[in-house]
Amino acid sequence: MSYTIGDGAVTLALAAGIVGYLYVRNQSRQKKIEIIHQERMAAMEKGIPLPEFPLEPVTDRYQLNPNVLPILGTVLLTLSLGTMIVLYLTLPAPSHSIWVVPLPFAFLGVGLIAFHLLKGESRR
């Protein structure tokens, strides 16, 4: 394989974008800490007590809806089966073997449904 200058430019641009994003995120965090520090110093000078605030807000753990897996599995399975049927019926005879292309998505849908059924959580 031979790589072109364009491939290198794309790689460098992607790396620069990631580094730039991390830099901007770090700078915004530093600016937020600096503003909080200035507010606290001003409050201390005036004698106003301030409550302690964490630098990073505590996030609540997100509860996954138990119906997401079977719904996603059903959607993947039906769409891939429909796509396989359409491909088999509409493609010319020499390219009938292409109908199996959506098969991994069908297996993924069956796997999600099977995982949901085997997990055996009680219904809410």
pLDDT in tens, 72-108: 999 999 999 999 999 999 988 888 889 899 999 999 9
7 sits in the region (left: phi over 0; alpha: psi -120 to 50; else beta) called alpha
The single residue listed with the structure tokens 């600096």 is 34
Query: Residue ranges of the domains in the chain?
Result: 1-59, 68-119
Q: Which amino acid is at 76?
A: L
The single residue listed with the structure tokens 């429909």 is 82
- List, for residues 99-117, the tens digit of each pLDDT value: 899 999 999 999 999 999 9
DSSP secondary structure code for residue 102 in this structure: T
pTM, 2 dp: 0.50
